[in-house]
Amino acid sequence: MTTPPPAPIAPPRGGTRSRAPAMRGHRGSSLLRRYVGDRRFLLALPRAVGLQILHPAIATALDEHVAMRLWYHKARTVSQTIDMAYDDRDQRHRMINIHGHVGGIDDRGARFHALNPDVFHFQHATYVETLVLAVNTFISPMSDRDHERLYAECCEWYLRFGVSARPMPPDWASFGDYFERVCARQLRLTPAGRALAPEVLRPTSWVPRLLPAVAVRELLHPRTRELLDVRKRPGDRAAFHSYATGVRMAATIAPPRIRYVPSARATRPPPSA
């Protein structure tokens, strides 16, 4: 079965608009803006990227259209995506510029396009799921209420991209159901995914290169471990717990230039006198 063509990026209501959907609440109260620019989210990215290389369309696109190594590509594209969470200007044209030319045929002959809502939304969903994991693991466990609130802000973040929100679940619980369903039914190991797997399992550039091997194994989604045949080792859980504790402690003394990406630092309130 072929993938349907991407839904067009809708023009703003009422003609030209200079701003994207605003985040809920004041800048200082946004959970998304508090967390997505924290480099501890970037540290957890092998979880998201490990799932992406198991999606046939995304894996093929990465294998055929990325001229650089995987993590150099992610350093550029993920950074741009994060920046959009901090910029209230309408930047939907950026998604066309970045993804508009990306399409092709996967290993089973199905056509795909990067802006197809089902493909594009799942890729974004891997970042959302990884962000939540990173917060709960490397920053501080969230309450049920904050899970719901952060997810709602992630939905607003997605709307900034201008791609159809048809696949987007309405709340955190339904997002979990959607995510596990896609992982179970659509992900598989393709030749493209197999070629990309070594870079996921042993990152050699950008922030994820700092991860020890045990942290990579523990961060991977269970479906990724299953399809890539990554087996946990005795002591992994305890070692990862110690590592995560160390990351949390180090962040308390890290200066903002180390802890946050530039767009996050620019929007943070000044320190109290």
pLDDT band for position 234 (50/70/90)? Answer: very high
What average pLDDT does range 81-103 have in this prediction? 79
- Tens of pLDDT, residue by residue over 168-186, are 999 999 999 999 999 999 9
CB neighbours of 255 closer than 8 A, spacing ≥ 6? none
Q: What is the pLDDT of residue 198?
A: 96
Contact 136, 75 (CB under 8 A): no
Residue predicted with more confidence, 10 or 36: 36
- Tens of pLDDT, residue by residue over 133-165, are 999 999 999 999 999 999 999 999 999 888 999
pTM above 0.85, yes or no: yes
Tell me if residue 19 falls in helix, strand or coil. Answer: strand
Q: What is the pLDDT of residue 103?
A: 74
Q: What is the pLDDT of residue 88?
A: 84
The sign of the dihedral angle between the CA atoms of 153, 84, 88, 178 is negative
On the 0-12 / 13-18 / 19+ scale of CB atoms within 10 A, 234 is: exposed
Q: What is the pLDDT of residue 271?
A: 54
* Helix (H), strand (E) at residue 76: helix 70-86
Residue predicted with more confidence, 93 or 56: 56
DSSP annotation of 103: E
Mean pLDDT value across the chain = 87
What average pLDDT does range 67-90 have in this prediction? 90
* Of 36, 94, 77, residue with least CA distance to 265: 36
Tell me if residue 236 falls in helix, strand or coil. Answer: helix
Q: What is the pLDDT of residue 206?
A: 96
How many angstroms separate the CA atoms of 247 and 214, rounded? 14
- Tens of pLDDT, residue by residue over 123-141, are 999 999 999 999 999 999 9
